[in-house]
Amino acid sequence: MEKLKNILQWWFEYQIPPFIERNGYGGLLDTRLIPVLIGPRRSGKSTLFFQLISKLRKDVPSQNIVYINYEDDRLLPFEGGELAKLLDVYRQFFEVAPEAPIFLFLDEIQNVPNWEKVIRRIYETEANVKLFITGSNSKMLSSDIATALRGRTLTYKVFPLSFREYLGFKGVQVPQIDRLPYSGRKNEILFFFSQYMRYGGFPEVVLAETMQEKEAILKEYLHTVFFADIVQRYSIRQIKVLDSFIKILTRQMSCLVSMGKMAASLKSIGFKVSKSTLIEYLGYLEDAFLGKTVSIFSYSVKDQLQYPKKFYLLDNGMYQVTSFIKEKDWGRLLGNMVFCHLYRKYDDLYYWKSSSGYEVDFVLPQFFGQNDEFPLIQVCYDLTSEKSETREIRALELAAKEFKVSKALIITRDLRASFERNGLEIEIKPFYQWVLE
């Protein structure tokens, strides 16, 4: 195929642009299984590929390393052989070092029809070929992997930058956390904390120099997700309804959301849409890595299904471009940051709510019965008022009693303390301390 030849020729002449290295992905080169990088658009998956390729080039001939981005417009329209014929075209028209393995880096592979069948064939018949793939749609990848590639892949979530990575991109050396409260650098860290809370961690946004540039990049991201990953992929006809739904949902970030109430709200402004349709839309948003819902923790599956869920964005920056941020939003922005940090490490996150209305933001049942982790986590931007302190601590006490746990954590902007209340050990930590420890 001529277009494959052109793309491959371009790749072998391409100079990888400078990048800032991200840690924690070195093991991708050491497994025989197929590493699958999934996550939001522009979160750094392609750059991680370039990072791995740069490392490989130190030991592997460059002509044995191939990168293809299946969102490249030069490959359109897809005719069916863009993946299946790739190795044949490569071997027929380009020099291959026979003594070295071939490394195939296939970006945004979910755009290729029947990609999983081709990947399975290559994996099972080409022992000398090492595969790496990325995708920006969780449902398509998970369902395809579950059927055709079960047991052949290792999935890695790639999210926008963590706060530690954010500081690294800003050239800020992480200070000793135990000394930070007494250091002149505390204000510097709090400044970057506030910027991270407002604009999030998409790498290009972090490196943008002006507020206007940051907001323009975030708007472009949201526009691409909206049209390419949702409207076009799922053939959405009620585009204005979807747009209004996303805006309302985003403004309820870190809060309980009811699809029934959402349908009524949209109806009040002239949009007729059913609850079931909104539930479908919510699933599309999750598939596109725009956000994630968290269910109530209960040993009853029925309760988990019928109670409202909480909605979180996978990056705070998306809130910035859909809402005017006010002082009262700081708490939900901090709550979303805590969610993002937890979701990097744990798939199973829940909230809890008592019959009397007390609420715990995050419950991690996998830590019930453990003394070295916090199974209950509360988020409160400002805990200085007596009313806030009483409410947050009372909620933790009730949850601890129900689940028979002895430790709980409260995440704040800049307050730290530790004490015991009615047999419950409670620690209060600033967000930056919690994530940088």
Looking at the fold, whether 241 and 286 belong to one and the same domain comes out as yes
Q: Which of 308, 325, 342 is the last residue of a domain?
A: 325
**pTM beyond 0.85, yes or no:** yes
Give one DSSP letter per residue of 155-188, joined into a string. EEE--SPPHHHHHHHTTPPPPPGGGGGGSTTHHH
Q: Please choose, from the candidates 291, 315, 304, the residue with its C-alpha nearest in 3D space to the C-alpha of residue 350.
A: 304
- Return the residue matching tokens 């009397």: 356
Looking at the fold, whether 297 and 379 belong to one and the same domain comes out as no
46: in domain: yes
Q: Which of 157, 188, 208 is the last residue of a domain?
A: 157
Residue range(s) defining the domain that contains residue 44: 2-157
Looking at the fold, whether 185 and 299 belong to one and the same domain comes out as yes
Q: Which two tokens stand for residue 402?
A: 């129900």
- C-beta of residue 158 within 8 angstroms of C-beta of residue 52: no
Q: Distance between CA 369 and CA 139 in Å, rounded?
A: 33
User: Can you point out the beta strands (E) in 22-152?
Assistant: 34-38, 65-69, 102-107, 129-135
60: in domain: yes
Q: What pLDDT was estimated at residue 309? A: 96
- Can you give the CATH number for the domain in which 132 is found? 3.40.50.300
Looking at the fold, whether 211 and 93 belong to one and the same domain comes out as no
Q: Which of 325, 358, 390 is the last residue of a domain?
A: 325
Q: What pLDDT was estimated at residue 327? A: 85
Q: Which two tokens stand for residue 56?
A: 């490989």
Q: Which two tokens stand for residue 333?
A: 């922005």
User: How many Cβ atoms sit within 10 Å of the Cβ of residue 232?
Assistant: 10
Looking at the fold, whether 170 and 153 belong to one and the same domain comes out as no
Looking at the fold, whether 153 and 184 belong to one and the same domain comes out as no
Looking at the fold, whether 303 and 368 belong to one and the same domain comes out as no
Looking at the fold, whether 266 and 366 belong to one and the same domain comes out as no
305: in domain: yes
Beta bridge partners of 35: 154
- C-beta of residue 296 within 8 angstroms of C-beta of residue 144: no
380: in domain: yes
Q: What pLDDT was estimated at residue 105? A: 98
DSSP 359: E
Q: Please choose, from the candidates 301, 408, 297, 410, the residue with its C-alpha nearest in 3D space to the C-alpha of residue 351.
A: 297
Looking at the fold, whether 209 and 355 belong to one and the same domain comes out as no
Looking at the fold, whether 379 and 272 belong to one and the same domain comes out as no
Q: What pLDDT was estimated at residue 183? A: 81
pLDDT tens per residue across all 437 residues of the chain: 799 999 999 999 999 999 999 988 878 999 989 999 999 999 999 999 999 999 999 999 999 999 999 999 999 998 888 999 999 999 999 999 999 999 999 999 989 988 999 999 999 999 999 999 999 887 766 777 777 888 999 988 999 999 999 999 999 988 788 888 778 889 999 999 999 999 999 999 999 999 999 999 999 999 999 999 999 999 999 999 999 999 999 999 999 999 999 999 999 999 999 999 999 999 999 999 999 999 999 988 888 888 999 999 999 999 999 888 888 899 999 999 999 999 999 999 999 999 999 999 999 999 998 888 999 999 999 998 888 889 999 999 999 999 999 999 999 999 999 999 999 999 999 999 999 98
Domain count, the chain: 3
Question: What per-residue string of b and e applies to 262-284 under the rule 16 or more CB within 10 Å gives b?
Answer: bbeebeeeebebeeebbeebbeb
- Can you give the CATH number for the domain in which 271 is found? 1.10.10.10
345: in domain: no
Phi, psi of 63 (to 5 degrees): -70, -10
Looking at the fold, whether 235 and 378 belong to one and the same domain comes out as no
Q: Is the peptide bond before 365 cis (omega within 30 degrees of 0)?
A: no
User: How many Cβ atoms sit within 10 Å of the Cβ of residue 2?
Assistant: 7
341: in domain: no
300: in domain: yes
Looking at the fold, whether 288 and 386 belong to one and the same domain comes out as no
365: in domain: yes
